[in-house]
Chain A
Amino acid sequence: MFKEEREELQFDWKMIDDIGEGRPNLGPGMSVAVYRLMQFTLRDVLIREYGVAEADRIFFESGKRAGEEFCRHTLEECGDFGEMTVKLQETLRELRIGILRFERAEVEDGSFTITVAEDLDCSGLPVTDETICTYDEGFLSGILGVYFGRPFDVREVDCWCTGDRICRFEAKKRG
């Protein structure tokens, strides 16, 4: 299941979902530091093995995969766009992923500006003049892609690591 060789992606929500039974005492929560420990050690090794560009691509692709499954699992029943934004905002807050806000939404054109404050990946990291929330870029691209049924390009334009207080993403429907 987890360690089979594969040509196609096989992730399924069921693979992670029985946390209540598995962690009766510790529960579903854990420290952000642990999440970052994993993300940044993984990034470290990936960059050494494959280079920065390839490591970024892998992060984006995994984030996108996560966003797609997240959308199917959480936002499936949402009707119109407004309802989806409310639900998305609520869920990201409840899961403590970040405070997501829409700054601009041109639904017809498929063009959005989205900000995430207190981002799980980057808020509080040293300022390095790099945007580093590649996983989030993929995550948003996956969500929008599944919700609108069209591929989305998402780019982080402001990040905690570029010296901003919030991460800002520009999303645009492809084609």
Chain B
Amino acid sequence: MLEIEESRVDKLTELFYRLLNGRPVEPLELPPEYPDDEFRQLVGYVNRFLREFREFSEGMETLSRGELDFALGRGRLGILQHLKSLQGNLRHLTWKTQQIAGGDFEQKVDFMGDFSVAFNSMTRQLREAFEKIEKQNRALADACEEIRREKEKSDALLLNILPVRVADDLKTTGRTVPETFDDVTVLFTDIVGFTTLSSRLEPKMLIDELNEIFTGFDLIIERNGCERIKTIGDAYLAVSGMNGDSGNHAENITDAALEMVRFLAARNRDSRLRWEIRAGIHSGRVVGGVVGVKKYIYDVFGDTINTACRMEQNSEPMKINISEATRAALGDHYELVPRGELEVKGKGGMRMYFVSRRREDFSV
């Protein structure tokens, strides 16, 4: 019959009382001389339980603070093992979350009951949302590209109609103010006998012909640093010196006019229809600006334009007739044929010259 002192049983009772009331407890101790009996065995088990329970309790406390990175000791107590599994699962979920946060939507959670279902459905929804956003981004990028292309087209179109400066002004401020150009040179050309010839031709053919000739003129004008202002029927108006680099404006446009005559002469050699132009040039001041609100047209105004027109009217087929002002601007770089003073309506007598060619020692 095992005999135990009452005080030892009391200690055991007190230990469990404290434990059950959430109070700190210390392991029981038996003196070394205490016999190796059933009671010593019981105390051994109680102390082992206390140790594992404390391990569990401390682990639970750490876990409840959201900390996953702690070491749990070994033990066979069921609750300790379950805690360890819980810790492992939470660590795994944390790792999975990091993977998914990094954009890996293939990650799934298995065999974790409700967790798996919720987690995997969250991942699926994230993936769908992500794919939707990506799709929208792609559509947006496509739309931007489309707008950029359209803008390029409209810019090109605007440049076709308007001088660069004016187009830039219109694009940035939405308006332009008329500008005065004190020193420019104006070229007017007209097709000889156009009215007569045009009545004999089919309209389509006529337009094709004009289109081809004026396209040729446009290229020549551009190449010589001048600007085509407009065509009026068979008349062609270009100006040089409006782009700031006005130093050679008279020469530039005279070179262009000579080239236009050569271009037409060459074309006449191979073409069924033969066209000739009269050209007139005058230098002076013009005012340039955009007219119209919906259909922009850049136009130039002033007496210089009228005078250039008079020079053209006083010219002859395939000849370039220039005024005194232009002659002065050209200096002695061209071979000229003086024509004396000719009567101009509303102006009186004006000195005029035909331009034969650029002098070779001043060739460009």
Contacts and interface: CB of A to CB of B under 8 A. Distances in A.
30 contacts: A80-B104, A82-B99, A82-B102, A82-B106, A83-B104, A86-B104, A86-B108, A89-B108, A89-B110, A99-B110, A99-B111, A102-B92, A103-B88, A103-B91, A103-B92, A103-B95, A104-B95, A105-B95, A115-B88, A117-B85, A158-B84, A162-B74, A163-B75, A164-B74, A164-B81, A164-B85, A165-B84, A165-B85, A166-B85, A166-B88
B107 interface: yes
Contacts of A83: 104, 106
A93 interface: yes
Contacts of B108: 86, 89
Interface string B62-77: 0000000000001110
Interface string B84-109: 11001101100110010010101110
Given A82-B99, A163-B75, A163-B76, A101 B107 contact: no
Contacts of B8: none
Interface of A: 80, 82-83, 85-86, 89, 93, 99, 101-105, 113, 115, 117, 127, 129, 158, 162-166, 168
Contacts of B135: none
Contacts of B85: 117, 164-166
A79 B120 CA distance: 22
Contacts of B99: 82, 85
A117 B106 contact: no
B82 interface: yes
A80 B92 CA distance: 19
4 A-B pairs with least C-beta separation:
A82-B104, A103-B91, A101-B92, A163-B76
Contacts of B104: 80, 82-83, 86
B102 A101 contact: no
B234 to A, nearest CB: 70
Contacts of A162: 74
B110 A163 contact: no
A15 B280 CA distance: 98
Contacts of A80: 104
A82 B102 CA distance: 9
A101 B88 contact: yes
Contact of A165 (B74, B82, B102, B106): B82
Contacts of A104: 91, 95
Interface string B324-363: 0000000000000000000000000000000000000000
Contact of B107 (A82, A129, A165, A166): A82
A163 B106 contact: no
A168 B71 CA distance: 12
A168 to B, nearest CB: 7
A165 B102 CA distance: 30
B74 A163 contact: yes
A113 B71 CA distance: 13
A129 B74 contact: yes
B209 to A, nearest CB: 65
A99 B111 CA distance: 8
A80 B84 CA distance: 30
Contacts of B89: 101
Contacts of B95: 101-105
B107 A164 contact: no
B94 to A, nearest CB: 8
Nearest to B91: A103
A82 B98 CA distance: 10
Nearest to B71: A157
A7 to B, nearest CB: 42
A144 to B, nearest CB: 16
Nearest to B84: A164
A82 to B, nearest CB: 4
Contacts of A82: 99, 102, 104, 106-107
B111 A117 contact: yes
Interface string B104-122: 1011101100000000000
A35 to B, nearest CB: 21
A117 to B, nearest CB: 7
Contacts of A93: 110
B107 A86 contact: yes
A163 B92 contact: no
A83 B107 CA distance: 8
Nearest to B109: A101
Contacts of B106: 82-83, 86
Nearest to A157: B71
A83 B105 CA distance: 10
Contacts of B96: 102
A102 B88 CA distance: 9
Nearest to A166: B88
Contacts of B111: 99, 117
Given A82-B104, A127-B76, A163-B74, A168 B110 contact: no
